[in-house]
Structure 1
Amino acid sequence: MDQASDQTQHEVLFFSLLYSVATAVFGGAIARQLLKQELQMDLRSAFILLLLFIGESVCFVALPGYSGLSLFSVACLLSYCTLPSSGLLPVQEKAILITGCDSGFGQALAKYLDKMGFTVYAGVLHLDGPGAEDLKANGSNRLTVLQLDVTSSDQIAKTFAKIKAELKNKGLWGVVNNAGILEFIADAELLSMNIYKRCMEVNYFGAVEVTKMFLPLLRQAKGRLVNISSIAGSIPLPWLAAYGASKAALSMFSSVLRQELAIWGIKVAIVQPGGFKTGIFGTTDHWNNQHKQIVQQLSPDVKTDYGENYIISFKEKYAKWQATLPEDLRPVLKDISIALRAKNPKTLYTPGKAAFLLPVIVNNLPTCLSDFIIHQFFASGQGVVPDGVKETES
């Protein structure tokens, strides 16, 4: 009996020693990253380390022997790979192409990266527009404004030839596919096919063609591809069918490229912002014009079922959304710059409160409950329903 007890104690001490060695190796690796300032210690990092600490005790007690030790070792390795890195690369002599710099994220990002010291090629739709003129007036000599409609193969090819000639053999460090359009918010049935096609043409096919054209220069520099998607591309949001579908396609394209381009040393990141006040909503005149076109293309049955008052209500939604969206774009700019500079960038960045909260709701709650919450979030205080629904309720 005493011999068996002694053997058990020896095994406990032996495995305690092995657990201590595994913990020391993991701790030493973390300490090394901290000393080199390559580890970002934030709430997420603290949560991962806390789970690992709890997991060590669980493995030791619930899975005695080599099985528990193996599981704990694998958990240490996965945690080490998951912890966010803060190691940032120097910006000197790194060139970035950004599309959609007429306004919003693109224009703000061009200025932001220019001040950081990057060589910036800012593609704009309107070379003589106010956004382009602002960049020309306020940018440094490192910032070049280029005519670049991402739906024009000819303009994409000309931009590629110019940048390749200027960079010579250095390659292009980064491409930020930011150009995007929303067109109109309305029920999927109400949106015209032209809106669906236009969103795909700009938000998806434009980004794909720009990416394909510039990949040889990215490969030369072993650089970065950063695609600006949207929270609407990862979860279903009412009235954003055309826009959300195009951004979902962009996100999937980006994820596939991340796997395929890894062997070339090119890193791919997706940025999915929550709602921010940018130029993507367009002007009031644009909204009114889109509304008229939508009404004109509706069949008599659909127009009767929904009713004019319901369709008009989307102009009110537009105004309310614009008023509530935050104007501070710095969270988005910071995440994009980190994706371009980090030695080991994350695959997905989600700046903005909605970009974090809404996926948690949709991915973790029962569908009936998440649909109810999303509807309340978007339709709160709306009070307008289609005429056909009113007739059914009465």
Structure 2
Amino acid sequence: MQQSMPRILFISGSDANWLWLSDAVGDRFMLVRESGTFSEITKRVGLVSPSMAVVDYSPQVGLDASLIVKELRELAPDLPVVAMGSKDSTEDVVNALRSGVKDFLSLDSSAGEVTKILTGVVEKAPQPTNERKGYALVILGGRQGVGSTTLAVNLAVQLAKQNKDSTLLLDFGLPLGDGLVHLPAEDKQGAMDFVECVRNLKRFDATLAKTAFRRHNQTGVAILSLPRNLADLRDISASDALKFLNLIKSFFENIVIDLCGFSNIEFVASLLRSADATMVLTPQSVPGIVTAAEMIKSLNDKGIATQTFDLVVTPCHKDVALDAESIAKKLNIETVHVLPDRRAQLINAVNGGQVLSAIDTKDPYSKAVTQLLDKVNANRKHHENASGLASTFKKWFKK
């Protein structure tokens, strides 16, 4: 597979320093410059997916470089950050190294020295391991009632069939706790909600992972819901929420996250940055499509590359003039799927305390979910086979 050129996000307001770094790295890297607020830097990280960030510590640039480095480390813990400035300024060097950068580029360095430093930083970056790493799939819906929770639950149940006791449903959609209605699980001693789990981040281990989540007995799906008082979400930071999501990937092979109707776009964006795949649901009606478009625009404004999402049109009717492909084009999403209208069958299953995919694998809805899951598994296999960051750089620098 052909590798794309490594990208560096250069954070600086200096034209001279931009030209210097561009000349130094030549055609080894693709440089992308950002000089705005951290909110704008965040957007750029999401859009560019840089392999490394270089932050300009030069006093004349006027950036609070140490604060930017701190926030970058919280936003993207695995992103290597290098400082740039003058080695004649002891204060710049000390401040940079104290903030946790990987190395320091001096403005009087030669092009060869710059390339050597950047290469060295990448080669020292954490290598991919064979440790268990879960796959996080987000289900998004712009408004309540589009079938997001129904799809999330059916996907989770089918995933659990493949690997029982290793599938987690993050029940973050609205209405609150709807996932628990579809997959009823009794309260048990030690069970936590999402905020409680994040508060216990530092002591969260395999033992706690077995006791902190409710489980649906028939399928083995673990369920974690939001607190009953959504105001409690203000007590945790987006970075801690992101750390928790990354942590639980060590304990579950499959994580399905239902975010339908969730109004805190900052929280949604933070979870999407750590997710491996995202599906957006919309009906064929204009109001539903408009809501989905507004949500996608909000995510784009937060730096999320929504073009890579999968669109799911549900329920899809052949006799409706606005077909799935037209909707995907309007939303600027390339991959589109459809789910059939099986409302009566889905309601009957829920009313009986069952999940349609679990009790009738031949139902058209169950078959459509299986096809979606086949796509997810194919993408996952591709994702797992992809080369790590360091090996990618090594291929480039050995050319």
Q: TM-score range by the shorter chain?
A: 0.3 to 0.5
- TM-score under structure 2 normalisation? 0.32
Which structure has more relative contact order (CA 8 Å, sep 6+)? It is 2
Query: In proportion to residue count, which structure has more helix?
Result: 1
TM-score normalised over the length of structure 1: 0.32
Between Structure 1 and Structure 2, the one with more strand by share is 2
